Structure 1
Amino acid sequence: MGMGRRERDRQDVLFVTAQQLPKSQGHAFYKRLNRLLSEAGFDREVEKLCEPYYQPTGTRGRPSVPPGVYFRMLMVGYFEGIGSQRGIAWRCADSLSLREFLGVPLTEATPDHSTLSRVRDRLPLEVHQEVFRLVLQLAAQQGLLKGKTVAVDSTTLEADAAMKSIVRRDTGEDWKAYVIGLMKKEGVIEKGDEPSDEEVRRFDKKRKNKRVSNAEWVSTTDPSARITKLKDGRTHLAYKAEHVVDIETELILAAEVYHGDHSDTKTLCDSVMEAQTHLSEAGLEAQIEEAVADKGYHAAEQLELVTSVGVRTYVPEPKRRGESRLSAKPVEQQRAVKGNRRRTKTAKNKRLQRLRSERVERSFAHVCDTGGSRRTWLRGIDKVRKRLLTSALVRNLGLVMRKLFGIGTPRGLQGEGGSAGLMQLAWLLIAAMKNLWDTHARLGARPTESRLQLLTVGGPQEYALRSTGC
């Protein structure tokens, strides 16, 4: 056999038959996910929700990308850890298995990034919320929704805008012009001098009392972004993402985006009520009874509002400077603060706070870090809200997949040759042995109690529910 060469003379192909088109065995995870969505009637329900925002069927013009394909491409972005829409479009165009997942034949081109932008702008936030509720219904059917105790927490999302894009709200001058004005005011340079960029940076770095206020500065690239100090000490334009998580099953019940300078002390009641609204609008009977948050959410007004809707709070009280004037507040707020204070001194509060820090942070790790949403590639708070809500519903879909099939992400299949795969195989063997044993028992054989206990301990679903899925 002669050696093939990549660079050789080739005759152009005039036509290709369907049998000659490349084929794929398909990706096991995406095939199962497609089957799950098909059985739930996902595409039919989504098209019904999106129909009012398109022209009637049969009108002139090219048909749009099906809404189900739009949401599936965003699912690919989450599962593959791709944050940008260009990256999602490239990934879908390059993969035969993802083409099968999207339902796009080889004779057609996959949607590009501009198509994703047009569909996202066409569909309002309310449609994305309804799709989020559809997934909540699907999760509830699999027993993944309890809804009694929820945990609330927030994190920062870096905006798609640099600090050098900020200008003063009153004069419109940029940061460099502002610093040059300070240099002239302090006599560092003369009135007609033009300092270099290095001299401007050196002066700006050494000057004292340097403050940047959102009341005075705004970004021209993304006016919705706010100047925020991140946990690593950097100052960046950012948004704030907040999750409300079912503390027992880790299901995300609400995902909201606020401006980066929005205080946690103003959002607790709104977030809890939004989660309850999602449950009610989805036709679910779950009622939120307890809300757990960290000390950053402690505010007498919010505690009183949450208590007034019948929800018990577990929010640690921070150590404040000076004496807290609780006696000067209304009686309802005093009662709410004292009741919350009593509950935070119990052993139950310690357990709930431990679960909150573990499970809400895990939701942020999946959605923001491995899901590609830590930095937003969209501009405008409404667009960021749509993207984060979609990532949250895909995270919930991953939990459903983990419950049904033992794997919550495509990357979970990479561990099948390791300890995770061996553990899952062991559970499957135990389940098969149990089914065989039950069959013999129905035919008259009576298994011993010890062997029956061995066969019924745990199960693949229990193991899968506690796996990280990464």
Structure 2
Amino acid sequence: MQGRKDYTEKLFTSFQLSSRVPKENLYRRLRETLDLSFLYKDTKELYGKTGNPSIDPVVFFKLLLTGYLENITSDRKLVEHCSMRMDVLYFLGFDIDEELPWHSTISRTRQLYPSSLFETLFNKVFTLCVNGGMVSGHTQAVDSAPIKANASMESVVLKVPATSIDNHLKKVEDENQEGKNKNDPPNLVQITAPEHQLRRVKKHHQKLLDNPVGAPGASHEKAQLLSNKTHYNPHDPDARISVKPGKARKLNYHCSMAVDTAEGVISHIQADFADGRDSQYLPTVAMQVQNRLKKNELALTDLLADAGYSNGFNYKFLEQRNVQGWIGYSVLLDQAIP
């Protein structure tokens, strides 16, 4: 006999969310392992004593962690995704019929919290990993990646001075003439740049005038005129134009990450301008990692990095801090960072 399932929504139901989430589920294990109650104390001074209750700080950071684990960057999509996942709701501490916070509340809270609070959370979670035996400390792998900025190349504009050079020089000359005797010799503007530099600047300016930038990337010649020296995005002034071989230019940030080779635990992460080289960020990354490990009674002895971090200053810096630098060993780095 063929069966057929008829669905009639119940007005009342007996349902327990915890009984529907398997014991081996990742989010259930996170709920039982990760204690973020210290956030109430760390964020207490950021709130007043009157007004409507804010989003729970623990819920906020759990939402951010969920977004990272699910690879969701949109707050709107994150809330929609969490509302359909019973295991995530259980992790957040919400019942199946409770409304999650508005996506705009998440965005505003992220902007209001200082960066020091996020760093404090990172340090405490890292300490939990150390106490759990997940961090060896002695060997760290460093690598970088461009992070796409929330800005479009179509919106870049040309950097221009508030006034033209001629008007500026005339204004300077007029101001310097005030209070002088009319019989004094006129002010002379001296140009100290070499002749070849002046010719190069004049040629570059003329090239910009002859090739006004329309739609970025419309032609090869125009695309070459887009650079961080001449253009910026007013919606995200900190974003920088960067490019990888064989790929189009984009507005990016530069993300540097250090990973402990024992279990792949992230030991440090930082964001910088995308127009910088990997090598110039290595000293800061190495120093931050070494200090964080030292606070957890661990010592950094070996550091792996690709050839982009190679220069004499970095070798000397690591040697002075008693760290063996394995720079340019791509095979080791690929094994350390999946």
TM tier, shorter chain? 0.7 to 0.9
What amino acid is the match of 2:32?
R
Aligned to 2:42: 49
**Cα 1:122–1:204 shift into 2, 3 Å:** closer
Q: Would the aligned equivalents of 2:304 and 2:332 in 1 still touch at CA under 8 Å?
A: no
Name stretches of at least 5 consecutive residues in structure 2 with no aligned partner. 163-205
Equivalent position to 2:233, from 219, 222, 229: 219
Could you tell me how far 1:254 is from its partner in structure 2?
Answer: 0.3
What amino acid is the match of 1:88?
L
Answering whether residue 33 of structure 2 is matched by residue 61 of structure 1, we say no
Aligned to 2:31: 34
Equivalent position to 2:262, from 248, 256, 265: 248
What is the alpha-carbon distance in structure 2 between the residues aligned to residue 273 and residue 112 of structure 1?
39
Could you tell me how far 1:185 is from its partner in structure 2?
Answer: 4.1
Q: SS at 1:305's partner residue? A: helix
What is the alpha-carbon distance in structure 2 between the residues aligned to residue 207 and residue 121 of structure 1?
39
Aligned to 2:177: none
Q: Deviations over 1:367-411 (max 9, x none)?
A: xxxxxxxxxxxxxxxxxxxxxxxxxxxxxxxxxxxxxxxxxxxxx
Could you tell me how far 1:142 is from its partner in structure 2?
Answer: 2.1
Answering whether residue 294 of structure 2 is matched by residue 272 of structure 1, we say no
Q: Deviations over 1:215-265 (max 9, x none)?
A: 111012211110011344211111111111112332211011111111112
What is the alpha-carbon distance in structure 2 between the residues aligned to residue 227 and residue 279 of structure 1?
34
What is the alpha-carbon distance in structure 1 between the residues aligned to residue 258 and residue 219 of structure 2?
40
Aligned to 2:318: 306
Report the number of matched residues: 290
TM, length-normalised to structure 1: 0.56
Q: SS at 2:303's partner residue? A: strand
Q: Would the aligned equivalents of 1:43 and 1:67 in 2 still touch at CA under 8 Å?
A: no
Could you tell me how far 1:183 is from its partner in structure 2?
Answer: 10
**Cα 1:184–1:356 shift into 2, 3 Å:** closer
What is the alpha-carbon distance in structure 2 between the residues aligned to residue 250 and residue 120 of structure 1?
27
Name stretches of at least 5 consecutive residues in structure 1 with no aligned partner. 173-180, 189-196, 317-349, 363-470
Q: Would the aligned equivalents of 2:151 and 2:235 in 1 still touch at CA under 8 Å?
A: yes
Aligned to 2:141: 151
What amino acid is the match of 1:355?
L
Q: Deviations over 1:249-291 (max 9, x none)?
A: 32211011111111112111110111123234xx410011222
Q: Deviations over 1:6-60 (max 9, x none)?
A: 9xxx9xx9xx65x5568560252211211112xxxx22222222222222xxx32
**Cα 1:171–1:310 shift into 2, 3 Å:** same
Answering whether residue 311 of structure 2 is matched by residue 295 of structure 1, we say no
**Cα 1:80–1:102 shift into 2, 3 Å:** same
Q: SS at 1:267's partner residue? A: helix
Equivalent position to 1:86, from 45, 65, 76: 76
Could you tell me how far 1:163 is from its partner in structure 2?
Answer: 0.5
**Cα 1:66–1:279 shift into 2, 3 Å:** farther
Overall identity of the aligned pairs, in %:
26
**Cα 1:208–1:202 shift into 2, 3 Å:** closer
**Cα 1:3–1:290 shift into 2, 3 Å:** closer
Aligned to 2:66: 76
**Cα 1:143–1:203 shift into 2, 3 Å:** closer
Equivalent position to 2:247, from 230, 233, 248: 233
Q: Would the aligned equivalents of 2:216 and 2:222 in 1 still touch at CA under 8 Å?
A: no
Q: Would the aligned equivalents of 2:208 and 2:225 in 1 still touch at CA under 8 Å?
A: no
**Cα 1:208–1:223 shift into 2, 3 Å:** closer
What amino acid is the match of 2:264?
E
What amino acid is the match of 2:30?
L
What is the alpha-carbon distance in structure 2 between the residues aligned to residue 250 and residue 239 of structure 1?
23
